[in-house]
Amino acid sequence: MATREPETGWHGEDSDVNHLRGRAFEATCLAATAFGLVSVLLLLLFVANDAFRPFSADAGWLATYAATVLVPLAALAVYYYRLDEPAGEVAYVTSGLPVVGLLLTGGFAVLFIELLSVLEWFALLISLVVAGGLIAAHGRLRPKAALERLAVVLLAPIVTVFGLPPTSFNRFVTDTAAALGLDFGLYYRVISLREAIMMLPFVPTDWVMLLLTLVLPVAGAAGWFVEQRRESRRDGLAVVGLTTAVAVVGVVAGPLLGIGTDVWLLVVTFAVLPLGVYVEGVLRRGEGVRGLAFPVAAVLGVVVGSVVTGALGFAGPDPWLDWGFLTSATSRTAADAGIYPAMVGSVMMIIVIVLTTFPVGVGAAIYLEEYAPSQGLMGKFVTLIEINIGNLAGVPSVVYGLLGLALFIRVLQWPQGSVIVAGLAVGLLILPIVIISAQEAIRSVPDSFRQASYGMGATRWQTIRQVVLPEALPGILTGTILALGRAIGETAPLLMIGAAASVRLAPNSFFDVASMMPRQIFSWSSELDPSFRHGVLAAGVITLLAVLLVMNATAIVIRNRYQRTG
Amino acid sequence: MTDSPSGGFSRRRFLTSSGAIGTLALAGCTQNTSSGNGDGSGNNSSDGSSSDGLSGQVIIKGSSTVFPISDAMAEEFMEEHENVNVTVDSTGSGGGFENWFCPGDSDINGASRPISDAEIEQCSGNDVEPVEFEIAGDALTVAVNNDADWVDCITFDELRQIWSDEAGVTNWSDVRDEWPDMEIERYGPASTSGTFDYFNENVVGEDTEHTTEYQPTEEDETIVQGIRDNEGGIGYFGFAYYNSNSEAVKAVEVRAEEGDECTPPSLANAKDGSYPLARPLFLYVAESALQTEEVSEFVEFYLEQAETDVVQEIGYVPSSAEQRDENLEKLDEIAG
């Protein structure tokens, strides 16, 4: 660019250049943008108004909260924006972190309520750690035996988690033998470490197990982080110690305040600890410290507001989207209806999708980008495959629903409307998107990186593992999370695989019948009672949007980190 | 080459320290597991408050007309038996039989018409033996736009003209001369629906084809919306949907023949048989499913409650006491 001579002398000098067309084009583009944004905003406001019904509150209630919360926060926001931008970022993060932390807390609480008991979680984690230890020990003792290590990496988790042979495999063999008329079975098996722990007559109490397996590892990671940043081992240990102390004090004092011990430990791990580490960093850097006033003002405002409205007797709004909505099942009376089982179903469906789609999609992308031949007849074939993956990304979702119905329900005979079937059908739907975005991410790693790696004598496998994948990972994650955002909102495949209109129990396993959020919202849209269509429906939509926004925000944070470090 | 010595050092220390903490904790705070369930199966039985320990699942598919009743029954039943998962879905009577009930994927199918011979055949091909219970009555309602002041009462013959292609009717004036020259916008249930089948058989007639020139849907709510928004709209659906949307659309009185008396749709008129479009609603239960305790308990509950005001509140005619006793007797015979 800089080498070229600046071109002057012929255009722009003439005074009768017509700017009209350019201006008109600019105005049209602006109008298109404004129209799109304004209509989406209006729609959201309309739905939010239905869901929260702010105007069902007394005028005094609204005025009180406007004075105690809205005005101070708006003033602070304007101040940060105009005068102190670093403080604005601090304010943003310190307000956002607890929200994300509490959402994570909710996610884990649901996990422990619906899926695993704390003991099962404890046993599973210990077994995985032991398996990791075995793999590491093997790597230490026999660093050269690569093939043997592969076997250990595959077998160790199976042996410690599932036993030898695994129960389901055992049952499969026995059943098959019985079907063939043979009495053949593996009656003796080595039970896994997980099962052994489950059978112990005495195990630690729930909170101790949570403290060991959740609080301490997360606190350890945070301590390590602080240790690196401050280059002081003592500070790192202080973080771990302080976290443990806060957790234990909460466990002892919690019952007095009416907080469950498990919930308290989760809150400490996911909300208090990250916030504490972040605030510590802010205070140490001394940059944007004024931003800490924002969350403090928010909390104070709410407290003062509730005291004032309580004293003056102003009635608050009666929103459709409230705590009861998030924690109860659907009902035929609109006021009692809730989204809890559907929310659990959606989260479990996302787990299935992540566990299946991510490895398959990223694996396919790595093969297509790094290994697949690009020349000759095979190269043409690979191009054909890539084109078809692009086409698959555009196939309507109903088709994937039909595929799921035919394959998983009719052929494999899995229970219709179950979490696993829904997850796999929707997973197939987003698989092409995951492959394409992962391919893009891998392609964007500069070729010079690979050449440099080869130049240093690395093999292709080492290059991919050590150079290409770490560089491409943030891009892959961003693409995958955005694809998951699409997955969680899909309705048509769920209808095809028979997810029922009303399910009142949250699923306990992946083979349980479940409802998902979009399916539940769709069935509310056809309820007899109009208050379902105007109130409950809006509350469901807002919940779904909130989950989507959190997922997209995660994607953005990951991308930003990538841009900063990369 | 990849493992730096410091990495190995900290890992080893991590292992030893976590092991030490674990041992300490094991020695200290422990709980006794032997009192709980020792088999460690996936379900946590912490909420063991359910009185009877009945568990399992009941899958209901079928008619969108029966859906509100089944959904209410499911909710009431699950209040008593909180570990039984009763799921209800509205797929249309025919859609439910063909796609879910007869292939053996659902336990119960709601239907707004009796099961057809072809469906019985399909079911028996898969060893599914349907057991029929008549659980309620409905007054199929023909509705028009609130502004359609010209039509108050309509005969079967006029309905036949409107809902079949034979007469070539496109405008209201084609049916009756004094009606306005306005296009008829038809909204009706999809052909998988039992309401469609009933209407096709009893009004349009078996020899005549139901028109395809209409907006078919599985959601009765969509029909109501279509009629509300179009002045020339007409449609038909179960009475319950009219009952909760009586402001939005106008129900038309119906008479079978020219000389008959015009009768408005209502539960009372459906009960005494004076409303010509009154029809029974059915529940079909797979005989094999009835052998499981949760399904037979649920069906028994359903049949008992079908006689109460719950059904009336939703907008259907509850089954009579004799009907209920007959149903329960039938259930007793099969479930044992």
User: Are A43 and A125 contained in the same domain?
Assistant: no
User: Are A489 and A350 contained in the same domain?
Assistant: yes
- In chain B, what are the domains? 56-137+280-335 (3.40.190.10), 141-276 (3.40.190.10)
Question: Does residue A463 fall inside a structural domain?
Answer: yes
How confident is the model at residue A478, as a pLDDT?
86
Mention every residue, 6+ apart, whose C-beta is less than 8 A from residue A474: A441, A558, A559, A561, A562, A566
Final residue belonging to a domain, choices A37, A56, A75: A56
What is the distance between the alpha carbons of residues A330 and A336, in angstroms, rounded to a whole number? 7
User: Are A45 and A158 contained in the same domain?
Assistant: no
Structural domain total, chain A: 3
Q: Which of A135, A332, A414 to mutate to test the interface with B (most CBs of B within 10 A)?
A: A332
- Evaluate if residue B1 carries a pLDDT over 50: no
**B131 CB within 8 Å of a chain A CB:** no
**A132 CB within 8 Å of a chain B CB:** no
> Which residues does chain B have within 8 Å of residue A194's beta carbon, measured at their own beta carbons?
none
Range of the domain at A431: 326-565
User: Are A502 and A366 contained in the same domain?
Assistant: yes
Nearest alpha carbon to residue A528 among A324, A320, A339, A337: A337
Q: In angstroms, what separates the C-alpha of B261 from chain A's closest C-alpha?
A: 30
**B105 CB within 8 Å of a chain A CB:** yes
- Evaluate if residue B24 carries a pLDDT over 80: no
- Evaluate if residue A12 carries a pLDDT over 70: no
User: Are A154 and A46 contained in the same domain?
Assistant: no
Question: Does residue A303 fall inside a structural domain?
Answer: no
Q: Which of A528, A531, A534, A537 to mutate to test the interface with B (most CBs of B within 10 A)?
A: A528
Question: Does residue A218 fall inside a structural domain?
Answer: no
Residue of B nearest to A414 (CA): B105
The average pLDDT across B193-203 equals 82
- Evaluate if residue B7 carries a pLDDT over 80: no
Work out whether strand A202-204 and strand B30-32 pair parallel, antiparallel, or are unpaired: antiparallel
- Evaluate if residue B2 carries a pLDDT over 50: no
Q: Between A and B, how many residue pairs show a Cβ–Cβ distance under 8 A?
A: 128
Question: Taking the complete model, does pTM exceed 0.80, yes or no?
Answer: no
- Give how far Cα A359 sits from Cα of A356, A366, A477, Å: 6, 10, 12
Q: What is the ipTM of this complex?
A: 0.73
How confident is the model at residue B44, as a pLDDT?
39
Question: Does residue A464 fall inside a structural domain?
Answer: yes
How confident is the model at residue B4, as a pLDDT?
44
User: Are A411 and A522 contained in the same domain?
Assistant: yes
User: Are A49 and A151 contained in the same domain?
Assistant: no
What is the distance between the alpha carbons of residues B74 and A111, in angstroms, rounded to a whole number? 26
What is the distance between the alpha carbons of residues A374 and B84, in angstroms, rounded to a whole number? 57
User: Are A390 and A513 contained in the same domain?
Assistant: yes
- Evaluate if residue B38 carries a pLDDT over 50: no
What is the distance between the alpha carbons of residues A292 and A297, in angstroms, rounded to a whole number? 9
Q: B315, A533: Cβ pair inside 8 Å?
A: no
pLDDT band with cut points at 50, 70 and 90 for residue B42 = very low
Q: B14, A136: Cβ pair inside 8 Å?
A: no
User: Are A36 and A178 contained in the same domain?
Assistant: no
Q: A502, B26: Cβ pair inside 8 Å?
A: no
Question: Does residue A45 fall inside a structural domain?
Answer: yes
- Evaluate if residue B51 carries a pLDDT over 60: no
Each residue of A192-218: pLDDT tens digit? 788 788 777 777 788 888 888 888 888
Helices (H), chain B: 5-27, 67-80, 93-96, 117-125, 156-163, 172-175, 194-199, 220-229, 239-243, 267-271, 287-290, 293-305, 309-314, 321-335
For residue A248, the one-letter residue type is V
What is the distance between the alpha carbons of residues A167 and A174, in angstroms, rounded to a whole number? 10
Q: B32, A529: Cβ pair inside 8 Å?
A: no
What is the distance between the alpha carbons of residues A321 and A352, in angstroms, rounded to a whole number? 28
User: Are A463 and A332 contained in the same domain?
Assistant: yes
User: Are A343 and A416 contained in the same domain?
Assistant: yes
Burial classification of residue A185, based on how many CB atoms lie within 10 Å of its CB (0-12 exposed, 13-18 middle, 19 or more buried): middle
Each residue of A478-528: pLDDT tens digit? 888 889 888 998 889 998 888 888 888 888 888 888 889 999 999 888 777
- Evaluate if residue B13 carries a pLDDT over 70: no
Final residue belonging to a domain, choices A148, A173, A203: A203
Mean pLDDT, chain A, integer: 85
Each residue of B64-108: pLDDT tens digit? 888 889 999 999 898 888 888 899 988 888 888 888 888 888 899
User: Are A147 and A47 contained in the same domain?
Assistant: no
Question: Does residue A477 fall inside a structural domain?
Answer: yes
**A33 CB within 8 Å of a chain B CB:** no
Final residue belonging to a domain, choices A203, A228, A244: A203
The average pLDDT across A253-272 equals 80
The average pLDDT across A110-122 equals 81
How confident is the model at residue B23, as a pLDDT?
59
- Give how far Cα B227 sits from Cα of B63, B144, B172, B214, Å: 21, 6, 14, 12
Q: What's CA B162's distance to the chain center, in Å?
A: 27
Q: In angstroms, what separates the C-alpha of A254 from chain B's closest C-alpha?
A: 17
Q: B67, A501: Cβ pair inside 8 Å?
A: yes
How confident is the model at residue A563, as a pLDDT?
64
How confident is the model at residue A356, as a pLDDT?
93
The average pLDDT across A536-549 equals 88
Question: Does residue A241 fall inside a structural domain?
Answer: no
Question: Does residue A295 fall inside a structural domain?
Answer: no
Q: In angstroms, what separates the C-alpha of A513 from chain B's closest C-alpha?
A: 8
Contact A449, A468 (CB under 8 A): yes
How confident is the model at residue B35, as a pLDDT?
42
Q: What's CA A186's distance to the chain center, in Å?
A: 40
CA angle B229, B231, B233 (to 5 degrees): 80
